[in-house]
Chains A and B, each alone.
Chain A
Amino acid sequence: MSSLLEVTSISVSFDGFKAINNLSFEIGEQELRAIIGPNGAGKTTFMDIVTGKTRPDEGRVRFGEPQLDLLRLSESQIARAGVGRKFQRPTVFEAQSVRDNLMMALSNDRLPFSVLGYRATVEDGSRVLALAEEIGLSDELDRIAGELSHGQKQWLEIGMLLAQEPKLLLVDEPAAGMTLGEREHTTDLLRRAAETRAVVVVEHDMEFVRRLDCKVTVLHEGSVLAEGSLDHVTANAEVIDVYLGR
């Protein structure tokens, strides 16, 4: 299996605090991966680095085929190269309709002048309908996104990410604040998404991770502590130590 994302011994520190310490990470083209770890383990910083928000002090980040050096690209270039990111808090554009939100996310040319001349095609219209179907918001298309419930916003955001058609999807704590039913729906969405692309889920909630049923990477103090199936890593003495405290 060739890998889609190769992160090689990156380190970053803020004011002397090492948030990421010689971290290496790899993920294949169609793979679902969960990243777990206690607070301050560097999960969010890791995502920041991959998506270009934070520059590491050292190390390499390579992506795709042919390989791109993500460290040389801006956030929007990385996104256009095929890395989608979902933030912890649902961030949809609340003043705009669900349809507009999805339209903006569709993987069309994103440069200003082509967007200025853009008119929705029939394909785009049906693509939006299909996405709305998938995330269960078909009836809400013309509603203002700000009026949606918390869970609906999460799905809309996932829908927007799917509309981007990324090769790699980074999802930060998708289950936070969801009801049980909503969680199941979310799990389904993510597993289906992982059939055609790589999906990395950062999560606290072990139950949710178990439901995802995938390979797990445990981060601790900015580097990889253990990797393998959930059962495998939870049996690891060091992991237990980290999670339960010394």
Chain B
Amino acid sequence: MQRSLFAQQPSVLIFISLLAIFTIVITVLSEGFGLGLVSTSFVKILGKTLCLCLIAIAMDLVWGYCGILSLGHFAFFGLGGYMIGMWLMYERTKDIVIASLASAELPPTAEEIREGIGTQIFGVVGGAEIPVVWYFADSLFAQLALVVLVPGLLALVFGWLAFRSRVTGVYLSILTQAMTLALSLYLFQNDSGLRGNNGLSGLQNLPGLTDVPQSVVSVWFFLASALALGLGYLLAAWVVSGKFGNVIRAIRDDETRIRFMGYPVEAYKLVVFTLTAVIAAIAGALYYPQAGIINPAEIAPIASIYLAVWVAIGGRGRLYGAVIGAATVSLLSSWFTGGQAPSIPLGFYTINWVDWWQVLLGLGFVLVTLFMPKGIGGLFDRLVRKDAA
């Protein structure tokens, strides 16, 4: 099976090999496990970038292959982050509360610990009660399951409603955008049970492993992200390589025709939408412990549009294109907005990239859409074809 996949798509093998080499090199150069040439913060940036590549693959699957321009996949990404963040924050706060109550005259009861956790976590939103949605927050396995279940169910229900009523094209994009907006506005409320606009923080600390330095933790997460990206890539490549891939491409190209061939188009879309939502959620669950903080602004509709921009720049309908787009644009973006890029003095005006990067990105994106509809990935096609000719 695997052999046929690699034989069919040589790019898969190339990608997996490059990813493996990259991962090993970074690990060897890292502070935590190797020579210390790559700083912990940069390992975190790279790890986060790998997660963004993973969600870009999900986006490519749903948009590039199935033709659904979802402007909601960052919502699933964020939800995944929230689900794992709840466990991280709860358990860590529990450790802190237990430590602070250890010196009390009476050993604390379970209720007192819960009360302490509640005050610690929800004091900022003026509450002390632990909301119902945190019911499973003390169980890692339950929250890991929720990472998949909550975004998956949301995608399933939303997708079922949207596809069932035959909402397609830009209508669907707008509807997914509305869903994202609704979710982020909901999370912005203080009584959403997820700390309103404060979000969840301190996620970089692993409960029970406070002795392990961040330099080591960052490499763990980097490796986990690389593994997830590799597996996600293989899964996506397998999905698009067979007849299923042909059918979803056919849905993208002519939905009506494939429907009259007897394929239940809505069911296919729902499968792809939900599957990619779950991939996005897993990417988010790996991303936010590296970022350390998650808040509703991360879920804002604009994030999902950026995701589409990455995939479009990288090249739709090619998995490696999505990865290239996400990695390039997100790394460039943090380089430019981080203030490292040199300013350009024009004499009468100095172009400061912190201010002008968005303009460059926006216009650059328009140019890519106009003149390179296949994105950066399209350049590879051209190279390959030249070799063949």
Q: Do A and B touch (CB < 8 Å)?
A: yes
- The answer, among B243, B260, B265, B271, for a CB contact under 8 Å with A104, is B243
B236-268: contact bitstring with A at CB < 8 Å (1 yes, 0 no)?
000100111011011001101111111111011
Report B-chain residues with C-beta under 8 Å of the C-beta of A116: 239, 242, 244, 271
Assess the B264–A110 pair: CB atoms within 8 A: yes
Assess the B250–A96 pair: CB atoms within 8 A: yes
Q: How far apart are the CA atoms of A164 and B268 in the complex, in Å?
A: 19
Given contacts A112-B271, A115-B243, contact A85 B264 (CB under 8 A): no
Query: Smallest CB-CB separation from A86: which chain B residue?
Result: B260
Q: Taking the complex as formed, is A100 at the interface, i.e. its CB lies under 8 A from any CB of chain B?
A: yes
Given contacts A95-B253, A112-B271, A113-B271, contact A79 B246 (CB under 8 A): no
Report A-chain residues with C-beta under 8 Å of the C-beta of B268: 112
Q: Nearest-CB distance from A208 to chain B (Å)?
A: 23
Question: Which of A53, A112, A116, A119 has the most C-beta atoms of chain B within 10 angstroms of its own C-beta?
Answer: A112
Q: How far apart are the CA atoms of A84 and B247 in the complex, in Å?
A: 17
Assess the B242–A79 pair: CB atoms within 8 A: no
Chain B binding surface SS class = helix
Instruction: Beyond the given A110-B263, A111-B264, please list 8 additional residue pairs across the A-B interface where CB-CB is below 8 A.
Output: A76-B262, A91-B257, A95-B249, A104-B263, A110-B264, A116-B239, A116-B271, A120-B243
Q: How far apart are the CA atoms of A126 and B335 in the complex, in Å?
A: 56
Report A-chain residues with C-beta under 8 Å of the C-beta of B254: 91, 93
Assess the A75–B249 pair: CB atoms within 8 A: no
Query: 6 tightest CB-CB pairs across the interface, nearest first?
Result: A79-B262, A80-B262, A91-B257, A112-B271, A76-B264, A116-B244
A93-121: contact bitstring with B at CB < 8 Å (1 yes, 0 no)?
11110001001110000111101101110
Q: Taking the complex as formed, is A217 at the interface, i.e. its CB lies under 8 A from any CB of chain B?
A: no
Assess the B242–A100 pair: CB atoms within 8 A: no
**How many residues on chain B are close to A (CB under 8 Å)?**
23
Report B-chain residues with C-beta under 8 Å of the C-beta of A164: 261-262
Q: How far apart are the CA atoms of A116 and B246 in the complex, in Å?
A: 10
Q: Nearest-CB distance from A164 to chain B (Å)?
A: 6
Assess the B260–A96 pair: CB atoms within 8 A: no
Q: Nearest-CB distance from B266 to chain A (Å)?
A: 8
What are some 25 contacts across the A-B interface (CB < 8 A)? A53-B256, A76-B260, A77-B264, A79-B262, A84-B260, A87-B260, A91-B254, A91-B257, A93-B249, A95-B249, A95-B253, A96-B246, A96-B250, A104-B250, A104-B258, A111-B264, A111-B267, A113-B271, A115-B247, A116-B242, A116-B271, A118-B244, A119-B242, A120-B243, A164-B262
Assess the B259–A75 pair: CB atoms within 8 A: yes
Assess the A110–B246 pair: CB atoms within 8 A: no
Q: Taking the complex as formed, is A74 at the interface, i.e. its CB lies under 8 A from any CB of chain B?
A: yes
Q: How far apart are the CA atoms of A120 and B243 in the complex, in Å?
A: 9
Assess the B259–A79 pair: CB atoms within 8 A: yes
Q: How far apart are the CA atoms of A79 and B267 in the complex, in Å?
A: 15
Q: Taking the complex as formed, is A51 at the interface, i.e. its CB lies under 8 A from any CB of chain B?
A: yes
Assess the A75–B242 pair: CB atoms within 8 A: no
Q: Taking the complex as formed, is A32 at the interface, i.e. its CB lies under 8 A from any CB of chain B?
A: no
Q: How far apart are the CA atoms of A160 and B242 in the complex, in Å?
A: 18
Query: Smallest CB-CB separation from B267: which chain A residue?
Result: A112
Assess the B253–A79 pair: CB atoms within 8 A: no
Report B-chain residues with C-beta under 8 Å of the C-beta of A112: 244, 264, 267-268, 271
Report A-chain residues with C-beta under 8 Å of the C-beta of B260: 51, 75-76, 79, 84-85, 87
Assess the A115–B259 pair: CB atoms within 8 A: no
Q: Nearest-CB distance from A44 to chain B (Å)?
A: 13
Report B-chain residues with C-beta under 8 Å of the C-beta of A119: 242
Q: Nearest-CB distance from A92 to chain B (Å)?
A: 8
Q: How far apart are the CA atoms of A184 and B247 in the complex, in Å?
A: 32
Report A-chain residues with C-beta under 8 Å of the C-beta of B242: 115-116, 118-119
Report A-chain residues with C-beta under 8 Å of the C-beta of B250: 93, 96, 104
Report A-chain residues with C-beta under 8 Å of the C-beta of B256: 53, 91
Report A-chain residues with C-beta under 8 Å of the C-beta of B271: 112-113, 116
Query: Smallest CB-CB separation from A166: which chain B residue?
Result: B262
Report B-chain residues with C-beta under 8 Å of the C-beta of A79: 259-263
Assess the A103–B246 pair: CB atoms within 8 A: yes
Report A-chain residues with C-beta under 8 Å of the C-beta of B249: 93, 95-96
Q: How far apart are the CA atoms of A196 and B8 in the complex, in Å?
A: 37
Question: Which of B239, B242, B244, B263 has the most C-beta atoms of chain A within 10 angstroms of its own C-beta?
Answer: B263
Q: Nearest-CB distance from A64 to chain B (Å)?
A: 14
Report A-chain residues with C-beta under 8 Å of the C-beta of B239: 116
Query: Smallest CB-CB separation from B252: which chain A residue?
Result: A95
Q: How far apart are the CA atoms of A233 and B258 in the complex, in Å?
A: 36
Query: Smallest CB-CB separation from A104: which chain B residue?
Result: B246
Q: How far apart are the CA atoms of A77 and B261 in the complex, in Å?
A: 9
Assess the B257–A87 pair: CB atoms within 8 A: yes
Report A-chain residues with C-beta under 8 Å of the C-beta of B265: 76
B76-93: contact bitstring with A at CB < 8 Å (1 yes, 0 no)?
000000000000000000
- The answer, among A53, A93, A103, for a CB contact under 8 Å with B243, is A103
Q: Nearest-CB distance from B348 to chain A (Å)?
A: 50
Report B-chain residues with C-beta under 8 Å of the C-beta of A100: 246
Q: How far apart are the CA atoms of A74 and B253 in the complex, in Å?
A: 20
Query: Smallest CB-CB separation from B270: which chain A residue?
Result: A112
Query: Smallest CB-CB separation from B246: which chain A residue?
Result: A100
Assess the B263–A76 pair: CB atoms within 8 A: yes
A2-18: contact bitstring with B at CB < 8 Å (1 yes, 0 no)?
00000000000000000
Report B-chain residues with C-beta under 8 Å of the C-beta of A87: 257, 260
Q: How far apart are the CA atoms of A100 and B244 in the complex, in Å?
A: 11
Q: How far apart are the CA atoms of A75 and B271 in the complex, in Å?
A: 19
Q: Nearest-CB distance from A114 to chain B (Å)?
A: 10
Q: Nearest-CB distance from B239 to chain A (Å)?
A: 7
Q: Nearest-CB distance from A27 to chain B (Å)?
A: 19
- The answer, among A77, A105, A115, for a CB contact under 8 Å with B244, is A115
Considering only residues 258-288 of chain B, those with a C-beta below 8 Å from chain A are: 258-265, 267-268, 271
